Structure 1
């Protein structure tokens, strides 16, 4: 009887100790709009999650849910994470903005970090990268390398982030090639390989020999590879498996340092609501290796553009720039302010077509 009591007491003690150890861990949740194996946007966010585990070891526990649709389903997933003890939740797509705010109100002791949005709360921060800086580099390469003078662009959704990217790529392609023309197809999805492949094929049929994308799969790379004589750029991740051609470079989103730092802030009690928007200089936007399919002089021009953006000596939106309707936007030498960029809802002069409403 005494032995049984002792064993029971020991088991209870071990259970309590294990529970205390688990309670000491900081639980970090991630809500992903696509699959972790998409090769692009969600893949890089998941790399950031893995970096949190590596950096903080047994002090953290991470959980994630992938393929979460923007809207009510996202709110359900976030709520469940909070109920299951998450201390910090990263919501990694623009369309999660309102669901994040809604759930945060219900769980004031949980910290939320929303990617690419603009709404904050005492327990909600936002973070994004200046992807448009990477588009300036891509546009420089595209303008030099197109032979047909037609650049195809696969847009995801007509939100400011995507519009900024199109404008930046066009401005910088036009600077090096006054004859360049952009053709834009809106896919109205972040991740749908079939739709993305179809969009790439249509653009190629329309004469595009350069394809840029703001969608997350590698399907446009594969379509270009099949077509031949078409170059592409990796989106969000390096997509280097398609190098040296058609993929000639890429924009790489490096979320790891931010995720590690924000998790540490929750752990040490220093977390505060903030708005972060970093670019090439801070390392949040990386430029993937420029392949040997790009001529040396074009590569040099692209790297010079990257360096000037990184050190702040050049801004991707520097006037003179007019809006699509011909009205003046930026005077010679004037640079765009962050407020205008954050809400950008217009094309620059020279881009044809309307932004869908």
Structure 2
């Protein structure tokens, strides 16, 4: 792959960025930075192959990675407690103030709704909004600071650090109503889930786990070295799970299921591990015949998905936040003030 275009947000201080997201012809990147002793964010939409700016909007707080609906509309949450909606050309559709707590990254649910959970001090709720109007469909009392949301089969799953040191709870709620279906408590911290088919994969402090989507029962657990944490997003491809840890290690595990007449037995097994300098940003991304990992110190490193061997590397500037996106044979990386696009070749 070769560098095709790059963009750098000018003039601002202490810039951080979120992972890129893309529609058919547009790549969107959210930047946040210090502004007049507070915070401000800019959401920029680029033509995906040329880097030409299509539109931008400024939001007076820290925003999260946006999400895109099938019609190209854009939804982004803010630490002000507000969710913002734009059409595919950047025209404001609506704002919804859910409260005065920080909001995490939104998650599209049930085709015409969006869910978002509160984060940070004083957080306690998960909200569900109507995509068309921004009106509140339901609110679920989760009792603490929540990590990323994931959904499948009419169920919404996320992990919450309960208030006043009461532990960590994995919640599963019904997307249509917000009704609690089950909850599983953990003595160790849980982070970002992936819901696929009837299983919930989630990274934890000291382990990778899988739970039953139907019951919340723990199905399998893979212990990690030295109580390291899978605290970022993971990538699931078939029965392989690719992840990064807070100790600067990328790993691959396999989820195996053996069915008997009465029940299925599940197991998680380590496949390979690769060490990096500095922290790993965002989630690993599959780029055709390689797994791409974004390292704060090393840039984008391409690994053999079968064995974890290093294949090549692509340069990135250093900075805060960041993430990767592979879309229609193009690889996009964001870190600090910069976005870089690598095309075929």
TM-score using structure 1 length: 0.25
The answer to which structure has the higher strand fraction is 2
Task: Say which one has the larger Rg.
Answer: 1
